[in-house]
Amino acid sequence: MARGPRYRVPLRRRREGKTDYYRRLKLVKSGKPRLVVRKTLNYIIVQVVEARVEGDRVIAAAHSRELGKLYGWLGGGKNTCAAYLTGLLAGYRALAKGVREAVLDIGLNVPSKGSRVFAALKGALDSGLKIPHSEEVLPSEDRLKCEHVSKWASELSGSNREFYERQFSKYLARGLKPEDLPVHFSHVLSKIRGEYEVRVKSMLVEAA
């Protein structure tokens, strides 16, 4: 362990590898709410957070677990299309609370092109939130709809049925064939848009 009169023990969350305070400072200095995207082992969590002296305040939030409870989502809770839908839901809820723009906060996640954190960003953008970004990092439309999963499942079902059933056992147990995932995605997307778009648009007109 480092010693000496000038040595300063790092803050606890920095020692635990949970917070990059230099990055956080830049985000807070923007003066805008942060679109916070986090991944767990099974889910995606998206929050719109406002920094305050006494502590962060969550303005709006969405959890990929809600997709199944509220909109009948039968797919996984951590894949690219779930991340997009969760970001879209969080974006609509933030707009309903009066938030118009934000900055992206991906924490310690590696900013890989086309990753799930950027799928959540794309969902928030499509809701109407204004967030600085580069178009190059966003996933392609076919990945947002999980068409790559559907294609792989179709290939597996014909070539290796045993592996197919093992790999997609959770989908099949919920009554969803993985080949039908893009169609199911579009159905759930329509439900979310149908619930929020009219409400958000009317609020934006009133605010204007």
State residue 202's pLDDT score.
Answer: 67
Give the H/E segment covering residue 188.
helix 181-207
d(CA 4, CA 6): 6
Give 121-175 pLDDT, tens digit per residue: 999 999 999 999 999 999 999 999 999 999 999 999 888 889 999 999 999 999 9
Question: CB of 99 within 8 A of CB of 33?
Answer: yes
Record: fold of 20-140+190-207: Nucleotidyltransferase; domain 5 (3.30.420)
Distant-in-sequence, close-in-space partners of 110: CB < 8 Å, separation ≥ 6? none
How many Å from the N-terminal Cα to the C-terminal Cα in the chain? 58
Q: Considering the entire predicted model, what is its pTM? A: 0.86
Taking phi over 0 as left and psi of -120 to 50 as alpha, with beta for the rest, 175 belongs to left
Res 58 pLDDT > 90: yes
| Amino acid residing at 38 | R
What are the boundaries of each domain within the chain?
20-140+190-207
pLDDT digits (tens, 9 = 90+) for 11-40: 666 566 666 665 666 667 677 999 999 999
Confidence bin at 56 (pLDDT 50/70/90): confident
Q: Select from 38, 41, 33, 80 the least CA-distant residue to 63.
A: 38
Angle, helices 181-207/80-96, rounded to nearest 10 degrees? 20
